[in-house]
Amino acid sequence: MIFDKAMKIAPERFRVIKLAEYTTWGIGGPAASVMANTMEELYDTIGFLSDNSLPWVVIGRGSNLLAATEGWHGVIVLLRGKLAEFSFNGPLLTAGGGAHLPSMAAASCSRGLAGLSFAVGIPGTAGGAVFMNAGAYGSSLSELVKEVTVLHPPDSIEYLTAEDCGFGYRTSRFQKNDSIVTSVVLKLSDNMENRVDLRRKAREILSLRREKFPLEVPNAGSVFRRPEEGPPPGKLIEDCGLKGMRIGGAVVSTVHANFIENAGGATSSDIMQLIELVILRVRQATGITLKREIRQLGELNIE
């Protein structure tokens, strides 16, 4: 098994983690992990994994990830240290791939720099936000991107403009390859808007998110992508009477129907069964086939 191979090859390099502690759904079994704090460590880590034919994936806050309850026989790469820092140079915000997105948004507001307040309540990292082209309330990260630095395994660096990134609604070119977003430069408003107003706007966004979304229970945000035509997924699911539908510990949220909650003890199988049932019921009622927005890690068995 790959998991055992990783631990056998270099037990001093890897440690065992429980994926449930690294995903916002709170679901997931064991996996090997390795931490990279600098670009040099990241080069070394990816090179080592490639040389030993070990599958790997970088995860940030795990806010759009469903990990298998049985675990994953690969290596989780965690960006920490300098790769999780961010800094300002005038209106430019430079962030490592592992930087905490809500902290970036809050710091921007405190400096009187506008543009990122929509992200104040989005759990995730800078790298994950680029990967997913995170957005809310009519704004997307792609509107702010000036430059993205990516590592093409094992050791090739490329600097990309926003146009190079293939951004679309909740998508980017990075979803189709194994490149690692190591840093991003965002260009915020240089009008130095009133800091009090920006902080108030951020608080209003947080308050609105608490009202609209089930933030007090484990979830992974929006489960389904918005169809190109027709109502948003939440309305489609609600109109089909699916709010509160439950399989095991997985429940379609009664707060927002495009969220599935881990109401306690949910397994990846519970979540997947409920997702498939929602897709089926919505398709039967409306003819629209919902597409998943979440990513999966490991073999997700539907019992």
Query: Other CB atoms closer than 10 Å to residue 34's CB: what's the count?
Result: 23
Cis peptide leading into residue 154 (ω within 30°) = yes
Amino acid letter for position 274: L
Amino acid (one-letter) located at 131: F
| Catalytic residue selected from 63, 172, 183, 222 | 222
Location of each CATH 3.30.43.10 domain in the chain: 2-81
List where CATH 3.30.465.10 sits in the chain. Answer: 85-210
β-pair partners for 100:
125
* Catalytic (active site) residue 189: no
Amino acid at 94: T
- Residue 25 is classified by DSSP as T
Full-model pTM: 0.92
The active-site residue out of 111, 170, 199, 281 is 170
Query: Would you say domain 2-81 falls under CATH 3.30.43.10?
Result: yes
**Single-letter amino acid, residue 287:** G
Give the pLDDT score at 198.
86
Q: Is residue 172 annotated as part of the catalytic site, yes or no?
A: no
Tell me if the domain spanning 85-210 has CATH number 3.30.465.10. Answer: yes
Catalytic residue of the set 193, 238, 261, 293 = 293
The per-residue pLDDT string of the chain (303 residues; one tens digit each, 9 = 90 and over) reads 566 777 788 888 899 999 999 999 999 999 999 999 999 999 999 999 999 999 999 999 999 999 999 999 899 999 999 999 999 999 999 999 999 999 999 999 999 999 999 999 899 999 999 999 999 888 999 999 999 999 999 889 999 999 999 999 889 999 999 999 999 999 999 766 688 888 888 899 888 888 899 989 999 999 999 888 889 999 999 999 999 999 999 999 999 999 999 999 999 999 999 999 999 999 999 999 999 999 999 876 655
pLDDT value, residue 174:
95
233-297, CATH topology level: 3.90.78
Dihedral, 293, 298, 299, 301 alpha carbons, nearest 10: -60
Q: Are 182 and 151 in contact (CB under 8 A)?
A: yes
b/e per residue 167-176 (b: at least 16 CB within 10 A):
beebbbbbee
What's the pLDDT score for residue 301?
Answer: 64
Let me know if 228 is a catalytic residue.
no
pLDDT at 3: 66
